[in-house]
Amino acid sequence: MKAMSTQQPLTTREKAMDEFPIMESKPGNIVLFHPHISSKAIDAVTEVLKTRWIGQGPKVEEFEKRFGARFAGGHPTLAVRAGTDALHLAYILAGLQPGDEVISPLFTCTATNIPLLYLGVKIVFADVQLDTLNIDPADVRRRITAKTKAIVCIHHGGLPSDMAELQTIADEFDLKLIEDAAHALGATYRGQNIGQISDFTMFSFAAVKNITTGDGGMLIMRDASLLDKARRLRSAGTDRKTKQTGNWENDIFEIGYR
């Protein structure tokens, strides 16, 4: 007679741990962080899920306004599905075209540069500073050509780049300055919030960032006249506000995204 197994079936959590191993908090392991989701956040999400607005709706607009007031000095803000989406929008709004050159740090996440490849832009890598690992303004200046249209910087580990020198270079050569601030939510530079300094700033709300929405991103732009276009591009080229008033004459003039 075959003996019956006494082994209990794996729980959902155990199955997930088996498929996606998570470092346990125990002696000998160094766990860098645990995602913090407050009970208030859980309650707020639960309330939203009980309504008809479970996608982009009033809560998203409220988030944009409050975020802009807190971190962007009132500059226009746009919530998107990922920080990479925010960078892609920034590059489009900056007017980058195939064949243009953009100077970017050689030490950064691939997401900083992949949208540039989609746009057919040539990436020119600049060296980083030994003490900060942020882009070196001196090397940026050496790499500028007649085709250069923008500078991208990151704030590695939340430590701001040398924004004063980068802005001086951008102004001198009439270049757009774009910040990948995925690490830098809440950081300041010479008394200003990261988010209110340059032409475009991206923040990330991915699972491993300072504040998380599971995934998501925010684009801040200094030029308020770009906001309507940014909103259309976010919605596949559709003017959602006009559409929601019952106007179905919704011609699409731009290649948008979701």
**Domains, the chain, ranges and CATH?**
58-244 (3.40.640.10)
Instruction: Please give the pLDDT value at position 51.
Output: 92
If you average pLDDT over every residue of the chain, what do you get? 89
Residue 137 has pLDDT above 90, yes or no: yes
pLDDT band at 57 (very low <50, low <70, confident <90, very high): confident
Q: Would you tell me how many other CB atoms lie within 10 Å of the CB of residue 52?
A: 7
**Which pLDDT does position 35 carry in this prediction?**
79
Among 57-61, 169-173, 212-216, the range with the most confident prediction by mean pLDDT is 169-173
Question: Which residues are catalytic, by number?
Answer: 209
Q: Does the pLDDT at position 253 exceed 90?
A: no
Query: Could you write out the three-class secondary structure of the chain?
Result: CCCCCCCCCCCHHHHHHHHCCCCCCCCCCCCCCCCCCCHHHHHHHHHHHCCCCCCCCHHHHHHHHHHHHHHCCCCCEEEECCHHHHHHHHHHHCCCCCCCEEEEECCCCHHHCHHHHHCCCEEEEECECCCCCCECHHHHHHCCCCCEEEEEEECHHHCCCCHHHHHHHHHHHCCEEEEECCCCCCCEECCEECCCCCCEEEEECCCCCCCCCCCCEEEEECCHHHHHHHHHHHCCCCCHHHHHCCCCCCCCCCCCCC
Contact 216, 240 (CB under 8 A): no
Say how many CA atoms lie within 13 Å of 192 toward its Cβ: 15
Asked if residue 132 lies in contact with residue 157, where contact means CB atoms within 8 angstroms, the answer is: no
Query: End-to-end CA distance of the chain, in Å?
Result: 60
Structure confidence by residue, pLDDT tens digits, 195-249: 999 999 999 999 888 888 889 999 999 999 999 999 999 988 888 777 666 666 7
Q: Give per-residue pLDDT as tens, 93-109.
A: 999 999 999 999 999 99
Highest mean pLDDT range out of 21-25, 41-45, 53-57, 246-250? 41-45
Question: pTM score > 0.95 for this model?
Answer: no
Residues listed for the chain: 258
What pLDDT was estimated at residue 15?
A: 63
